A and B are shown apart, each in its own frame.
Chain A
């Protein structure tokens, strides 16, 4: 061995050893869960009372500090104005969309801002990204307390049906909380991973995921460690919350009848909602009960039973069944072909949901792993697979079609839904007026042919198109979706070869500038983190160069004189000597010097390779010539 680059346990890769195991986080509408996996075994990280669920509820204290979890939920009674829950429903959404919901939701919107929606909480204006970041900070703290070391990297799950805006918002929230997102994984896919690895299942499986705020249905093909999503569908605004609201409306109506019709305040609505949720949860195990709501000096009693709850829940359950049928149709699969159905999400504890799923698939669904923890378990398994290597493979798809608006408000789809990711597609468009020098590109996501029925993701202008007659310009719009399901769009005019870098501004997200400013403001060690990352990247790159040269020496060292070889080896030693240091520039310079020192060696290797290849080609040509002759004759 020529060089010993690092001692065991001091791997100079960006992701350093077991001291910072990556965690899996299920950032839920109602609850969040964090888990960690070691040697293929995942554990949910619990508090001192053994609770794995962290309520996704934030209470803002007078000084602006955030309290998250059970304590925040309790504060709902004393300081309802300072408490936010179900913030996930607003991720990546615009003010117009939220206004439609706000009548039913206990949020106070900040009407003074544009772009991404903001809430007024405890007198401060906050975006859903910042509020979610506060939840993630608490989740991170839970993990660090439990593991006894810093946690900086995570796999974070998102509903499969989350669009690009909501995914971006989730990733940004994690960055604000000081977490590097190794991968955004779809919740049903994570759940399938937890189940499949546990049971060695093979064949077609459905994951039915009804959470607090979102519904996902995914159809997966499992085969020897491969988890291939065949089709996915759902509704990013359908969940247990909707049932809670209907039950709360029912309780409020009863109170109004009993106590006279005073208009409830927002604080009262929040408390009645909490009672409604409790009633719903109790009625999964019990058949009936009575709930007492005490607001200020007024008290009301509400007897409520499972039959009444199921009557309220029925339309929502019917919608999940309809969406499930649509996904089966998309994949051209009959319910009987599905070998198993996995239940995920707290709302699948409701008996009416289990009955509906069993009736649709003609089999009892699986729920052996706690449906509220299974997603975090799968995320933890994937976090370990990404950092420690693994044979399992998650192949996910785009949940919604992606396209651009063309003339007349028609949507031209570039990437249809259920396309495996990562994916890259491009299409050419043209100008429609003589001399047109700019083109507005409107990127949309959704399943309708008309632009006003789709969600707007971004708008940008491609300027500087040279003057041409209408229809002569060729504007190539390229879409790229990475393995996280995040979209990048670029455009260029092809006839003149003029390439335009375009910045895509998310319609309802944060711009890079806003994000950078927030990172600076919120992270105590933002600058340090960034420098640490750059250093880590320089090390990975230098180490990659070292490995490449070493491999080349092993294969072709006979091309070098002993003096030449010694020169290369000393350049390698200089790189190795810099690697453990923290001078990023010195590491990069040593690596560049090594590349320089191997220049002649590389040329000789290519020459030898080409001679071998030409010999191969001429034999092929000879054979082709002979074959041609015999055919002709």
Chain B
């Protein structure tokens, strides 16, 4: 079956509206213009950007706004219920991709997943890296010991500085195609981000 093969390839789908061929991942049918289901795509592909850790925020915004201009449910207010539902799914998929690319940690996880490293963020809460484990315990102790706003502020500032440093190191690892390093640094960034958040909360409680 030629049809089944091409459809399996993901290269070609059937447009639900005019029932002609439509290229996979195209948001609109080239023949009849009907909006299509969002389908599966990694966030970079969804926004038409190269899969890199370093990202041009202005370019990301531009792509996102261009696509939302065409796909947002507000553009389908007078269309049929089916087209409205599809536009909502498209816009939600686009928002998810945009949020992923806007967040360095989620972006790193997405890149590692693209490289076939699924396990990075699986074992939640367990830290395999002994150096990170030591560091984590020290920082947590410091946070728990903080009983004044000044002390909490010190922990929070340190955590935030560490987050920025970890992001820089992560960018370097990705740039040098060092995926093992990137995986380790992503784990570290994830832990530091969580700690920085907790430190901010603690600071708000004490302030």
Give A residues with C-beta under 8 Å from B: 13-15, 182-183, 223-224, 226, 228, 382, 385-387, 389, 391, 393-395, 419-425, 480, 482-483, 537, 540-541, 544-545, 547-549, 551-552, 555-556, 598, 602, 605-614, 616-617
A223 in complex: contacting residue of B2, B61, B88, B95, CB < 8 Å: B61
Which of B20, B72, B82 lies at the interface centre, i.e. has the most chain A CB atoms within 10 A of its CB? B20
Segment at the interface with A among B8-16, B119-127, B137-145, B182-190: B8-16
With A547-B32, A609-B21 as known contacts, state yes or no: A422 contacts B88, CB within 8 Å. Answer: yes
Bound CA span A13–B23, Å: 29
* Interchain CB contact under 8 A, B18 and A548: yes
* Interchain CB contact under 8 A, B91 and A422: yes
- The chain B residue with its CB closest to the CB of A418 is B99
A480 in complex: contacting residue of B5, B6, B92, CB < 8 Å: B92
Can you list 10 contacts pairing A with B, beta carbon distance less than 8 Å?
Answer: A15-B77, A420-B95, A422-B91, A541-B82, A552-B20, A602-B18, A602-B20, A605-B19, A609-B21, A612-B21
* Interchain CB contact under 8 A, A610 and B2: yes
B residues near A614, Cβ cutoff 8 Å:
2, 5-6
With A387-B78, A548-B34, A551-B33 as known contacts, state yes or no: A395 contacts B72, CB within 8 Å. Answer: yes
* Interchain CB contact under 8 A, B3 and A607: yes
- The contact size tier of chain B is 35 or more
* Interchain CB contact under 8 A, A613 and B21: yes
Bound CA span A223–B21, Å: 36
- The chain B residue with its CB closest to the CB of A386 is B77
* Interchain CB contact under 8 A, B95 and A422: yes
CB-CB contacts below 8 Å: B17-75 with A: 17-21, 23, 31-34, 61, 65, 68-69, 72-75
- The chain A residue with its CB closest to the CB of B1 is A610
Bound CA span A424–B88, Å: 9
* Interchain CB contact under 8 A, B79 and A423: no
* Interchain CB contact under 8 A, A183 and B74: yes
CB distance from B86 to the nearest CB of A (A): 12
* Interchain CB contact under 8 A, B69 and A15: no
Bound CA span A419–B79, Å: 26
Bound CA span A425–B23, Å: 26
A residues near B82, Cβ cutoff 8 Å:
541
A residues near B34, Cβ cutoff 8 Å:
544, 548
- The chain A residue with its CB closest to the CB of B15 is A548
- The chain B residue with its CB closest to the CB of A224 is B65
- The chain A residue with its CB closest to the CB of B17 is A548
* Interchain CB contact under 8 A, A609 and B20: yes
B residues near A182, Cβ cutoff 8 Å:
77
Give B residues with C-beta under 8 Å from A: 2-3, 5-7, 9, 11-12, 14-15, 17-21, 23, 31-34, 61, 65, 68-69, 72-75, 77-83, 88-89, 91-93, 95-96, 98-99
With A420-B95, A422-B92, A544-B83 as known contacts, state yes or no: A387 contacts B18, CB within 8 Å. Answer: no
CB distance from B17 to the nearest CB of A (A): 4
With A540-B79, A607-B2, A614-B2 as known contacts, state yes or no: A422 contacts B11, CB within 8 Å. Answer: no
CB distance from B87 to the nearest CB of A (A): 9
* Interchain CB contact under 8 A, B17 and A544: yes
B68 in complex: contacting residue of A224, A395, A545, CB < 8 Å: A395
- The chain A residue with its CB closest to the CB of B95 is A420
CB distance from A580 to the nearest CB of B (A): 18
With A606-B14, A610-B6 as known contacts, state yes or no: A482 contacts B88, CB within 8 Å. Answer: yes
- The chain A residue with its CB closest to the CB of B11 is A613
A residues near B20, Cβ cutoff 8 Å:
552, 555-556, 602, 605-606, 609
With A606-B20, A613-B21 as known contacts, state yes or no: A393 contacts B31, CB within 8 Å. Answer: no
B residues near A482, Cβ cutoff 8 Å:
73, 88
Which 8 A-B residue pairs are closest in the complex by CB-CB distance?
Answer: A609-B21, A602-B19, A548-B18, A551-B32, A386-B77, A605-B20, A548-B32, A610-B6
* Interchain CB contact under 8 A, A551 and B18: yes
B residues near A394, Cβ cutoff 8 Å:
74
CB distance from A152 to the nearest CB of B (A): 14
* Interchain CB contact under 8 A, A552 and B18: yes
Q: A422-B88, A548-B17 are in contact. List 20 more A-B contacts (CB 8 A).
A: A223-B61, A226-B65, A226-B68, A228-B65, A385-B74, A394-B74, A419-B99, A422-B73, A423-B92, A544-B17, A549-B18, A552-B18, A552-B19, A552-B32, A556-B20, A556-B31, A605-B18, A606-B12, A606-B14, A610-B6
A residues near B17, Cβ cutoff 8 Å:
544-545, 548
A393 in complex: contacting residue of B12, B72, B77, B89, CB < 8 Å: B72
A residues near B32, Cβ cutoff 8 Å:
547-548, 551-552
- The chain A residue with its CB closest to the CB of B83 is A544
CB distance from B199 to the nearest CB of A (A): 14
Which of A15, A382, A389, A393 lies at the interface centre, i.e. has the most chain B CB atoms within 10 A of its CB? A393
CB distance from A301 to the nearest CB of B (A): 45
A residues near B14, Cβ cutoff 8 Å:
606
Bound CA span A556–B78, Å: 28
* Interchain CB contact under 8 A, A483 and B91: yes
- The chain A residue with its CB closest to the CB of B9 is A617
CB distance from B143 to the nearest CB of A (A): 16
Bound CA span A300–B7, Å: 83
CB distance from A164 to the nearest CB of B (A): 16
CB distance from B4 to the nearest CB of A (A): 10
* Interchain CB contact under 8 A, B3 and A610: yes
* Interchain CB contact under 8 A, A183 and B77: yes
A residues near B72, Cβ cutoff 8 Å:
393, 395, 483
CB distance from B41 to the nearest CB of A (A): 15
Which of B2, B9, B74, B91 lies at the interface centre, i.e. has the most chain A CB atoms within 10 A of its CB? B74
With A422-B91, A607-B2 as known contacts, state yes or no: A540 contacts B80, CB within 8 Å. Answer: yes
With A422-B73, A613-B12, A614-B6 as known contacts, state yes or no: A13 contacts B78, CB within 8 Å. Answer: yes
Which of B9, B11, B93 lies at the interface centre, i.e. has the most chain A CB atoms within 10 A of its CB? B11
Bound CA span A110–B7, Å: 61
B residues near A602, Cβ cutoff 8 Å:
18-20
Bound CA span A555–B5, Å: 24
A483 in complex: contacting residue of B19, B21, B74, B80, CB < 8 Å: B74
